[in-house]
A and B are shown apart, each in its own frame.
Chain A
Amino acid sequence: MDLQLILFILLSAVAIISALGVVFSKNPVSSVLCLIVTFIAIAGHYILLNAQFLAVVHIIVYTGAIMVLFLFVIMLMNLNADIEPQKRNWMKYAGVISGGVMFLVLLAAVRDANMPALSTTSTDIGLIENLGKTLFTTYVVPFEISSILFLSAMVGAVIIGKKD
């Protein structure tokens, strides 16, 4: 058993356990903290897959910006008490069962797929130099369009959040 497999199993266990914590914890603040742990584990997976730049961006954007925004909104609404009404129990079971059935169907679909194994040698495809070259030559138009998307999202958020 090589080191890569051990790290994979460790990070996967952390990711899945904390993802279950997001769904099943009663307190929204602990849900957010569990989701941060999941994202850090996923960033570890990115490093294992030679996507170093994406790992850094993932940590900055998700755990640094998005989750802080979530925490900020939860604190703002004073939701840290358990105020979620207890809903009907059979809905909960239906959710678990349909999610599990989806899991089994997808698992059975890809189990016998014939795909090459990942090699343990490292590639330099995820370095910022190569990614920047690809982003600013082949994908420069989507890059500019995404800036327009950001602008419209900003305008939309301000208009929705305005009082009155």
Chain B
Amino acid sequence: MPIQYYIFLSIALFCIGIMGVLMRRNAIIIFMCIEMMLNAVNLLLVSFSKMWADAGRVDAGSAQIFVFFIMVVAAAEVAVGLAIIVMMYRNSHSVDVNLLSRLKN
């Protein structure tokens, strides 16, 4: 199976994530779209890991370790980000990101 298929799938997921970030105003949905973009990158890294393992490289597992670290960082990011969203909801009773434009003027 050509590795291009996996690249196309990752690009599709990444661009759907970009679309969601640009379209939606709900902060939680934007956050979930960022998670989806991270996962697209993870999928690409794993498929390249398989490609190098097929080529006989012994250090092809490094890509999977990298995916592991991305998951760790994503978990930490979710903890802090959801705390920020809860705080924002507590202050303004909305999760609309358009309300967060106080620094504009």
Contact = CB atoms under 8 A, between A and B. Distances in A.
Contacts of B46: 45-46, 49, 51, 54
A70 B39 CA distance: 16
Interface string A119-135: 11101011000110011
Nearest to A91: B23
A142 to B, nearest CB: 6
B18 to A, nearest CB: 5
Contact of A58 (B7, B71, B78): B71
Given A84-B96, A98-B18, A150-B72, A157 B2 contact: no
A96 interface: yes
A119 to B, nearest CB: 5
Q: Is the interface of B mostly helix, strand, loop or mixed?
A: helix
Contact of A149 (B23, B73, B82, B85): B73
Contacts of A42: 39, 42-43
Given A117-B3, A135-B68, A161 B86 contact: yes
Interface in A48-78: 49-51, 53-54, 57-58, 61-62, 65-66, 69-70, 73-74, 76-77
A42 to B, nearest CB: 6
Which bucket holds chain B's interface residue count?
35 or more
Which bucket holds chain A's interface residue count?
35 or more
Contact of B95 (A4, A53, A79): A79
A81 interface: no
17 contacts: A23-B33, A38-B39, A45-B6, A46-B46, A65-B75, A70-B82, A73-B85, A119-B54, A123-B54, A126-B61, A131-B65, A153-B79, A153-B80, A154-B79, A157-B80, A157-B82, A161-B87
Interface of A: 4-5, 8, 12, 15-16, 19-20, 22-23, 28, 31-32, 35, 38-39, 42, 45-46, 49-51, 53-54, 57-58, 61-62, 65-66, 69-70, 73-74, 76-77, 79, 83-85, 87, 91-92, 94-96, 98-100, 102-103, 106-107, 110-111, 113, 115-121, 123, 125-126, 130-131, 134-135, 138-139, 142, 146, 149-150, 153-154, 156-158, 160-161
Given A12-B5, A23-B19, A66-B78, 5 more contacts: A28-B26, A61-B71, A85-B25, A115-B51, A123-B53
